Each structure stands twice: as C-alpha cells, then as structure tokens.
C-alpha cells in the first residue's frame, strides 16, 4: 500500500465494541501508531475512522493494533459479527459451572469440588474480559475490564471464589445484554438503508435487465412496476402513479406522481408503472444522504455528553484511589483484618467504573436521532436535539412553508349576467397556452371542475398586465384593473371587487370583452392543510410565540396570520430584517426555532437557536444549512419532532439520574461493607443494561407522531 492510500480516511468495522470503555481502549491503541492523525471511534455504529498523513500505517497494522486491544476487525463484506454468540455461550457455560459450584457448596459437598467449579466459572466468564484488560494495560488505560479483572483476581487470592465467579459471570452476562441492546440501536439506523432494493430494472439496448443498483449510471432509464420499491432517485419520464414516500419524508398519505416529477429511492410504488430517468447514483440518493447525516450526527457531542465525560474523568481515578485506601490503610494503620478491607476495596473498584453513566448519553441521543429519521425528520446531532427540546418560540417563513408556494383560484365571480362556470371556462380558454403562474392556476381549476376550455386564437400576452385571445367570435381580455380602465367601461363594481380581494390578501383578475368586465377571479397562495393543525399542536406543546416573517405584502401576510391564529406577523421584510426579528425575540428571552426553505432564509436560519428547513428530500444544500430538516412538506411532523426531542431529553435525564443514583448508593454501601462484590457488579452492569434498554424507548414510534400529542 502506497503513501497516498494510507493517507486517505479509512473506516474499520470492529466487533464487540459496545461500551465507552471499549471505544477508549481502541482509540488509545491506535493513537500510539506513528503517522496516525485523527481517530474517531463510533460505539453506536461499531466503527473506527482513521485519518493520517504521509507515512501512516497500512490497514494491516491498524487492524493488528485493534486486535491487540482485544477486539475483532470485521471484513466489510461480512454480516453481523458472531462475537455476540460467543459471549452468549460463555455466559451459559459460566452460569452452569457457577450454579453447580454454589449448589455443591450449599449442600455441604466437598470443598475440593467447589473451588475447581467456581474457578472454571471464573475463567470461562472472563474469556472476553481478560484480553481487553491486557489491551488496556498495554495502552496504560484503566477501564472496566481492568477493574473487573483486578477485582476477580483479588477475590480469588483471598479465597472468595464464589464472589470472583459471581462477579465475573454477572459482568459477562451484562456485557452480552449491553451488546445486544446496542446492536438493536445500530440496526434501527442501518435499517433506513435496507428499504432500498439491491437491484433495479434498467432499459438497455431496448431490453429490460436486472442489475445491481450500484451499476446504474446517471441518465439511465429504470422501470418501476406496481408495488415495487423505487431503487434510485430520479424524474418520471412516462407513467403516473401514487407513491408511499414515508421512508424518506414521513408522510403517511401516498402522493400522486406524473411525468416531470421527482421520485425518491425507498418509496413504494402504487398501481401504475413508471419509467424514470436516474438523477442520483446509489450512494447519493436522498435516503443515502439521510443515513450519512445521521451517522455524522452521532459523532457530534451533546452538551450533556461533554459534562458526563468531564465528570467521569475525575470520578474514576478518585474512586480507584479511595478503593486502594480502603483496602490498605485500615489494616496498616489500625491492624484491621486484611480480608474484610480488601473485599471492600475490590467492591469499590467495581463501583469506580462509570459505564452506565458514560453510555447513557450517546445511546439515548442516537436512539432519538434514529427514531426521528424514521419519520422523515433529520436532526443534525445531539446538541441540535437538545436545543430543539428547549425552544419557546417558533417563527415561520410564509411562502412554501405555511403556504403551498403556488397560486390557486379561490373565488370566481360572475358579472354581467353570465354564470360562474362560464367565467371559468372562458378565462381558462384565454390562458390555455400560457405558462404564467396565474394562467396555470386558472387552467388547473377548470380541469378540477371538469370544464373543457375552448381553443383560443390570436393569443397574446400583455406584459405585466394580462393576456388576450379571440374565442368563439369575440375578443376576450384577462388582466388587472389597468387593462380594464384602458379598455373603458370598467365598472365601479369591478374596482370594488378587486380591492376587496386585495384586502383579503388575494390577487384579483378581471375577465373582459370589448363592452367591459364579465367576470372576476381571485387567486392566492393557499395555506397548507397541515399548517393549522401544526400551529395548534405547537401551542399545545407550550410554545409561547408563534410568528410569521415574510417578504410578501402586509395584506397577504395578515390574511394567512389570521387564518392560522398566529401571535405576530411581520411583512415586507428583507432577509437581513428577518434576522433582526429573530434576534429581537432572543433578546426578549426566547429560544427561537426558525422554519424556512433552508436557502432563501439563510440569515434567519443561521441566527436561530434551531434552524429548521422543510421539504428538503431532494435538496442537498438545505441539508447543509439546517439544524433540523423536515424531508417532506407535512408541517405536523414539526410538533412531532419537538415531542420526540423532549421525550429523548426526559429519557436521558432519567438515565443519568439512574446511573448517578446507583453509583452514589453503592459507593456508600461498598465503603460501609454492606455491598458485596457480586452485588456491586450486578448493580453496575445492571444499570448499564437498564440505561440502554430505556434509551431504546427514544427510538420507538411514540405517541408524539400523532398531531398535537407528545411529551
């Protein structure tokens, strides 16, 4: 392997690395290698990321260092490591020997049989512990494996074989349970990618062939049959269907898709067949980017994790020194019995390891992040998750956030004796061949109502004011009041109608012939169906301020604000003024979340305590800008995400209280001689298992994904 190969960032899968002590041992082992730059160990993913400069060691040497620390390097092509099975079998065998030894002892059997049984139980139960203890000692580290090994050896030396065997067996069982629980958390994250098919049907040389998704190139055409999962991101060329996009966007209702629209890998196709042009390779789909962002998020450190790490760095050496003092000083200074005080010291050694405390934060945060991602909400890290849980004010952009971002006809008014359907029919005829947003909205409304628009002749756009066409023997005009006034015969009724539309935040257009107005239509950017329930749910969550910041005119903004019952509406704002509005809320003592499109609202998003971008499933840039990204366009997932963040924070606090409380209790009990060695092991490892099991609750579906509910 040449220098350029070793200098590149590399990743190794590591088996059996399920606790913070394991991660620290591996990190120290790699840190001693010359040429190694950054080492990042991810317990939740079971991976080690190594970066180095010229002269960095080859893969084989890095793998050897990991193995010397007592861990297994897994080939990338292998499935799940089998080490969990080995731990399980060791726990079974150790348990049988321990039970047999205790049974013989309690029934008055020969001591010559008891000690070998208990010694064998100790050795088998320590099968995976001692190699890691030796690896930690090589790197001058003091971790739980060293402490447990010393405690077991000490107990055996003073003849407490029952304590040694029970302690080591309980520790082995707990390590297996902890590995199993952490494995569940890992699986929840990798399962995000498992919804993507491994193969795609590609049209090549007029033939449909099945090929691995990794071999499909940009621009190739893939066929998606009814019921298939979409294998790659792309744009529909032919066919219409409805797609279940819930794996990516979290939207529970299937969405209709037609030619020209995007589809995302992992979506489930409905009843129609689709031909799709591939726009992203397999490693760059929206779902792949979500998974990559979640993996990066796990590496970021939440404030609570930084506190725990600082606490553990002080706590462990202090308690180890206390254990040494308890074991040695009373016999030396007061002539007390060595066996009793050494046992107490060994018990304190077990209490010295803060495993449950240290693992509480990463496993809880990861579970919360994975649970949110399963519902189409990408939270960029533990710090962002904790910040989301703390917000007291939410500020929305209007266009494309609270509203659909496209015009729709809201009112049709007939004038001069014709019907409303006739007004819509003629207006759609005038605009039939126009691409203007107003034209598209009018034609779409006619199609919705089953109205067939007449074929126009002599169509012409009037720049900035409207359009005209010749239909069924007469000249028709569709435009604003200026067009009406220029044609003459513009009635007071028409003026008042357009002005009333404007007061309601709508755009009014008039349908006219040479004699004057014959109808009017109002158009507006319609409010999302999910906006009102989302605002109500946020208020139910205790959000004190719900406001809108928009560059749109005041009448339009206030109309939307009244409809959604917002606390404040700020209109006609430039991007810098939106930022100032956010800063003003922060000066008033609020923790502010800003919801926007992730690009146009960059100053406000950057100034917020939490920047939230929505509808970014196909927008890589928005994933970079926001702290939280809503992959779909359903606003109700925002209060659900807030509920998930608060639920995760509650679980985290409960875990920290549990871990600290048990440590405190057993510190006192061990010092007083009440707690035995095996009891301390049971409490310590049991706490780790309970903490991990409780943390997995943050990954569950949770009632907060129902609108208005949550923590």
Report the CATH number that the domain containing residue 27 is assigned in CATH. 3.30.70.100
Let me know if residue 495 belongs to a domain: yes
Distance of CA 554 to the CA centre of its chain: 36
Q: Parallel, antiparallel, or unpaired for β 516-527 and 507-513?
A: antiparallel
Is 208 found in the same domain as 130?
no
Assign 628 to helix, strand or coil. Answer: strand
Two tokens at 414? 């007939």
Is 213 found in the same domain as 165?
no
Last residue of a domain, one of 473, 493, 527: 527
The residue written with tokens 């600290």 in the block is: 660
Q: Would you state the pLDDT for residue 131?
A: 83
Is 517 found in the same domain as 438?
yes
On whether the CB atoms of residues 563 and 582 are closer than 8 A, the answer is no
Two tokens at 614? 């929505």
Q: Would you state the pLDDT for residue 262?
A: 87
Is 453 found in the same domain as 315?
no
Assign 697 to helix, strand or coil. Answer: helix
Across 403-493, the runs of DSSP E, i.e. the strands, are 403-414, 457-462, 466-471, 474-479
Let me know if residue 450 belongs to a domain: yes
Structural domain span for residue 468? 404-527
DSSP H or E run through 395:
strand 393-397
Q: How far is 392 from 397, CA to CA, in rounded Å?
A: 17
Residues 6+ apart with CB under 8 A from 152: 122, 126, 164, 167, 168
Q: How far is 497 from 508, CA to CA, in rounded Å?
A: 8
Is 313 found in the same domain as 169?
yes
Q: How far is 89 from 127, CA to CA, in rounded Å?
A: 11
Let me know if residue 398 belongs to a domain: no
The residue written with tokens 């604000």 in the block is: 561
Q: Would you state the pLDDT for residue 465?
A: 76
Is 106 found in the same domain as 74?
no
Q: How far is 369 from 299, CA to CA, in rounded Å?
A: 12
Last residue of a domain, one of 608, 636, 664: 636
CATH code, 503? 3.40.1110.10
Residues 6+ apart with CB under 8 A from 672: none
Q: How far is 518 from 512, CA to CA, in rounded Å?
A: 5
Smallest CA-to-CA distance from 385 within 641, 703, 696, 651 is with 641
| Sheet with 47-52, edge to edge strand ranges | 36-42, 47-52, 10-15, 72-74
Q: Would you state the pLDDT for residue 565?
A: 93
Is 173 found in the same domain as 39?
no
Q: How far is 421 from 442, CA to CA, in rounded Å?
A: 12
Residues 6+ apart with CB under 8 A from 562: none
Two tokens at 687? 């706490």
Q: Would you state the pLDDT for residue 708?
A: 40
On whether the CB atoms of residues 594 and 605 are closer than 8 A, the answer is yes
Sign, CA dihedral 253-259-261-264, equals positive
Q: Would you state the pLDDT for residue 446?
A: 94
Let me know if residue 646 belongs to a domain: no
Q: Would you state the pLDDT for residue 532?
A: 94
Smallest CA-to-CA distance from 367 within 692, 127, 606, 147 is with 692
CATH code, 206? 2.70.150.10
Q: How far is 164 from 161, CA to CA, in rounded Å?
A: 5
Is 328 found in the same domain as 232?
no
Residue 37: how many other CB atoms lie within 10 Å: 11
Let me know if residue 513 belongs to a domain: yes
On whether the CB atoms of residues 617 and 248 are closer than 8 A, the answer is yes
Let me know if residue 73 belongs to a domain: yes
Q: Taking the C-alpha atoms of 497, 503, 504 and 505 in order, what is their torsion angle to the nearest 10 degrees?
A: 110
What residues are labeled active site? Answer: 397
Q: How far is 153 from 119, CA to CA, in rounded Å?
A: 11
Q: What is the b/e burial string over 608-621, where b = at least 16 CB atoms within 10 angstroms of the residue's CB? A: bbbbbbbbbbbbee
Assign 204 to helix, strand or coil. Answer: strand
Let me know if residue 28 belongs to a domain: yes
For residue 269, the 8-state DSSP code is E
Is 153 found in the same domain as 168?
yes
On whether the CB atoms of residues 397 and 519 are closer than 8 A, the answer is no
Residue 680: how many other CB atoms lie within 10 Å: 27
Is 426 found in the same domain as 306?
no
Is 513 found in the same domain as 563?
no
C-alpha distances out from residue 498 to 527, 552, 566, Å? 21, 18, 26
Is 346 found in the same domain as 228?
no
Count of the separate structural domains present in the chain: 5
Length of the chain: 711
Give me the phi and psi of 139, to 5 degrees please.
Answer: -100, 15
Q: Would you state the pLDDT for residue 82?
A: 47
Q: How far is 14 from 183, CA to CA, in rounded Å?
A: 12
On whether the CB atoms of residues 475 and 492 are closer than 8 A, the answer is no
Let me know if residue 704 belongs to a domain: no
Last residue of a domain, one of 253, 283, 313: 283
What is this structure's pTM?
A: 0.70
Tell me the mean pLDDT per 10 residues along the chain, length 711: 58 77 79 80 77 77 85 67 68 88 84 88 86 80 78 82 83 75 63 74 89 92 91 92 77 79 87 91 80 63 65 75 85 82 81 74 80 81 88 91 87 90 94 88 92 90 83 92 87 91 88 92 89 94 93 85 92 85 94 79 83 70 72 87 92 88 83 79 78 80 49 42
């Amino acid at each position: 392997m040449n220098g350029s190969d070793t200098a590149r960032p590399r990743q190794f899968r590591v088996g059996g690395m399920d606790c913070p002590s394991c991660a620290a041992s591996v990190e120290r082992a790699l840190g001693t290698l010359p040429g190694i730059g950054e080492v990042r160990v991810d317990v939740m993913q079971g991976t080690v990321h190594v970066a180095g400069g010229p002269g960095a060691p080859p893969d084989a040497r890095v793998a050897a260092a990991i193995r010397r620390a007592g861990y297994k390097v897994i080939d990338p092509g292998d499935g799940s490591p089998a080490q969990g099975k080995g731990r399980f079998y060791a726990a079974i065998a150790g348990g049988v020997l321990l039970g047999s030894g205790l049974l013989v002892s309690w029934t008055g059997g020969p001591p010559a049989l008891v000690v070998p049984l208990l010694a064998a139980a100790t050795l088998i139960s320590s099968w995976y512990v001692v190699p890691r203890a030796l690896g930690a000692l090589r790197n001058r580290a003091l971790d739980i494996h060293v402490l447990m090994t010393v405690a077991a050896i000490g107990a055996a030396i003073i003849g407490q074989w029952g304590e040694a065997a029970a302690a080591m067996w309980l520790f082995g069982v707990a390590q297996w349970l902890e590995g199993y629980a952490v494995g569940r958390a890992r699986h929840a994250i990798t399962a995000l990618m498992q919804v993507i098919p491994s193969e795609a049907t590609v049209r090549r040389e007029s033939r449909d062939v099945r090929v691995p998704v990794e071999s499909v190139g940009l621009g190739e055409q893939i066929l998606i049959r009814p019921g298939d999962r979409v294998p790659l991101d792309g744009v529909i060329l032919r066919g219409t269907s409805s797609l279940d996009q819930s794996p990516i966007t979290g939207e529970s209702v299937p969405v209709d898709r037609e030619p020209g629209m995007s589809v995302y890998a992992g979506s489930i196709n409905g009843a129609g067949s689709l031909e799709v042009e591939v726009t992203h390779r397999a490693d760059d789909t929206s779902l792949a980017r979500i998974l990559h962002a979640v993996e990066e998020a796990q590496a970021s450190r939440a404030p609570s994790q930084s506190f725990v790490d600082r606490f553990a760095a002080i706590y462990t050496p202090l308690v180890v020194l206390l254990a040494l003092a308890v074991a040695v000083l009373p016999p030396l200074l007061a002539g007390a019995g060595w066996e009793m005080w050494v046992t107490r010291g060994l018990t304190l050694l077990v209490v010295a390891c803060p495993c449950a405390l240290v693992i509480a934060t990463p496993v809880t945060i990861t579970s919360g992040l994975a649970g949110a991602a399963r519902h189409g909400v990408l939270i960029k890290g533990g710090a962002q998750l904790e910040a989301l849980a703390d917000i007291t004010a939410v500020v929305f952009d209007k266009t494309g956030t609270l509203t659909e971002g496209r015009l729709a006809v809201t009112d049709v008014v007939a004038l001069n004796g014709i019907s409303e359907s006739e007004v819509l029919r003629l207006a759609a005829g005038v605009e039939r061949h126009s691409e203007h947003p107003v034209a598209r909205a009018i034609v779409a409304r006619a199609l919705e109502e089953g109205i067939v628009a007449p074929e126009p002749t002599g169509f012409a756009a009037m720049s900035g004011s409207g359009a005209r066409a010749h239909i069924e023997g007469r000249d028709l005009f569709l435009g604003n009041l200026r067009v009406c006034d220029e044609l003459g015969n513009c009635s007071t009724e028409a003026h008042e109608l357009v002005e009333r539309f404007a007061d309601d935040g709508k755009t009014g257009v008039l349908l006219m012939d040479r004699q004057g107005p014959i109808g009017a239509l109002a158009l507006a950017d319609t409010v999302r169906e999910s906006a009102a329930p989302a605002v109500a749910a946020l208020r139910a969550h205790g959000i004190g301020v719900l406001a809108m910041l928009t560059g749109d005119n005041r009448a339009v903004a206030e109309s939307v604000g009244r409809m959604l019952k917002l606390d404040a509406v700020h209109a006609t704002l430039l991007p810098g003024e939106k930022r100032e509005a956010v800063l003003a809320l922060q000066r008033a003592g609020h923790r502010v979340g800003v919801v926007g499109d992730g690009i146009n609202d960059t100053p406000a998003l950057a100034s917020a305590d939490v920047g939230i971008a929505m509808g970014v499933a196909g927008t890589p840039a928005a994933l970079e800008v926001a702290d939280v990204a809503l992959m779909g366009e359903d606003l109700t997932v925002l209060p659900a995400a807030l509920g998930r963040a608060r639920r995760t924070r509650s679980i985290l606090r409960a875990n920290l209280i549990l871990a600290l409380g048990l440590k405190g209790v057993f510190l006192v009990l061990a010092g007083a001689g009440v707690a035995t060695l095996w009891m301390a092991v049971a409490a310590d490892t049991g706490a780790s298992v309970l903490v991990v099991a409780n943390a997995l609750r943050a990954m569950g579906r949770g009632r907060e994904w129902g609108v208005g509910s949550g923590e």
